[in-house]
Amino acid sequence: MSHIHKLKRRIVLTDLKATEVQKIIKQNNLDGLDEFLILTNYVNHEDMPDLYTQAFAFLYPSIRESFGLPIIEAMSCGTPVITSNSSCMPEIAKDAARFVDPFDPASIAKGIEEMEFNDHIRLQFIEKGLMRSKDFSWSASTK
């Protein structure tokens, strides 16, 4: 993968087995990527805000969702979101997330690079995300 040499940050993968990750690395000739990965077991819901707030960005290239709660949670923690241009994600995030094609690794890489190398865009997504997350408060939901 030509983009590995550009990585500056570690990537935290939650709830994935090391054997699955190694299989993906091998199948896609991503030698060297594993040194940038931090694998965790399942993360309890009460621990997620700490993970979100420490993250540079939240990557969520899901191909199907019923609602997309994790992107709202990340936004409410001030973490910029990179998510799928499919399913409910565009409806939930509106203009507050960077959308990528979840089936196109180059699209995902471009979204990550944009957050990494363009502080202006990253800060815009943080601000828009904080505003968008307010639309999903319990009081807003009951109205």
Q: How far apart are CA 121 and CA 63, in angstroms?
A: 24
Beta bridge partners of 99: 83
pLDDT of residue 35: 87
> For residues 66 and 23, which has the higher predicted lDDT (pLDDT)?
23
Range 76-91 average pLDDT = 95
pTM, entire model: 0.86
pLDDT at 139 > cutoff 80: no
pLDDT tens digits for range 28-47:
888 888 888 999 988 998 99
pLDDT of residue 103: 95
pLDDT at 1 > cutoff 60: no
Q: Is beta strand 98-100 parallel, antiparallel or unpaired with respect to 81-84?
A: parallel
Range 55-84 average pLDDT = 93
Contact 82, 107 (CB under 8 A): no
pLDDT at 138 > cutoff 70: no
pLDDT tens digits for range 89-135:
999 999 999 999 999 989 998 999 999 999 999 999 999 999 999 99
Q: Which helix (H) or strand (E) holds 81?
A: strand 81-84
Coil, helix or strand at residue 16? coil
Residue whose structure tokens are 């997330």: 97
CA angle, 38 then 87 then 138, to 5°: 80
